[in-house]
Amino acid sequence: MSQLPTATILGTIKDPTAAIIPGVAITAKNLETGLTRTTVSAEDGSYRLSALPVGAYEVRVELPGFRTEVRGGLILTVSQEAVVNFALQPGALDQTVVVTEDAPLVNTTSGALGGLVDEQKVAELPLNGRNFIDLTLLTPGITQHRNLAVAASTVGLWFSSNGAPLRSNNYLLDGALMTNLTQGTSASQDGSTLGIEGIREYRVITNSFSAEYGMTMGSQVVMVTKGGTNTLHGSVFEYFRNSAL
């Protein structure tokens, strides 16, 4: 599922003596849309909720004989695997323990390298032309190539990932291949891309990415578009260029 514009929550559930607990009901709720996903911990106490849309979540775990625990403050980003472990305390099911913490920043489930262009960067960093792909240059190991001849086949941002050939970058938008006919960029023939207003965030994976990606040896650019929520929202922007400045 890693090539999809989604995230994963996984972990292990134990009791205070560190003994594993199977059969625990786990529910993850997206706080932006109300979407819920449920599963049950396996015989080894592990659980996994895959293909979760990015956003803010809370996770609720319940089992008779133990206090219900709710873990909030989880912000899932594209292609992230957030490890959230629980240590349930004995008690009544109607007793609830609420814990608020951020999702772990250290990736302990994959050796992939790269960087995240998150929602704040997309919304707030200045872009000449509002081409969100330009933000890829923030990722370590990404180098822009400026010596291409001006032609219809060289439109868009061309870059190398860790010295790999320029045509070694793969672009995925909501899981769909977005590389253009030149196999070099995601831009159309007039040099444009999907407007920045339509992009929520994206991850640039530059090394040791999983086999399910394939296609190229340089980088994988996994993009996710904005989706609706239960809150009315919008945006506005303005161009201002003053020749006197």
State how far the Cα of 227 lies from the Cα of 201, in Å rounded to an integer: 11
- Could you report the per-residue pLDDT of 48-76, keeping only the tens digit for each? 999 999 999 999 999 999 999 999 989 99
Range of the domain at 165: 113-225
- Give me the pLDDT at residue 2, please: 45
- Could you report the per-residue pLDDT of 83-134, keeping only the tens digit for each? 999 999 998 877 888 887 666 656 777 778 889 999 899 988 888 777 888 8
Same domain, 193 and 137: yes
Same domain, 158 and 71: no
Residue 16 pLDDT > 70, yes or no? yes
What percent of the chain is modeled with pLDDT above 70? 88
CB proximity list for 154: less than 8 A, separation 6 or greater: 148, 182, 184
Same domain, 123 and 41: no
Same domain, 83 and 126: no
Which residue type does 102 have? Answer: D
236 lies in some domain = no
Span 154-164, mean pLDDT?
82
Same domain, 75 and 131: no
Which residue type does 111 have? Answer: G
Contact assessment for residue 205 and residue 112, using Cβ atoms and an 8 Å cutoff:
yes
Q: Helices marked H in 27-132 — which ranges?
A: 119-124
245 lies in some domain = no
Domain of residue 33, CATH code: 2.60.40.1120
Lookup result for tokens 């400045």: 245
Where residue 242 falls among pLDDT bands split at 50, 70, 90?
Answer: confident
- Report pTM: 0.83
- Give me the pLDDT at residue 47, please: 97
- Give me the pLDDT at residue 92, please: 85
Residue 189 pLDDT > 70, yes or no? no
Domain of residue 159, CATH code: 2.170.130.10
Output the CA–CA distances (angstroms, integers) from residue 50 to 37, 80, 102, 170, 234, in the order listed.
Answer: 9, 10, 19, 23, 29
Q: How many domains does the chain have?
A: 2
State how far the Cα of 56 lies from the Cα of 82, in Å rounded to an integer: 12
Worst-scoring range by mean pLDDT, 24-28, 183-187, 216-220?
A: 183-187
Same domain, 170 and 71: no
Residue 245 pLDDT > 70, yes or no? no
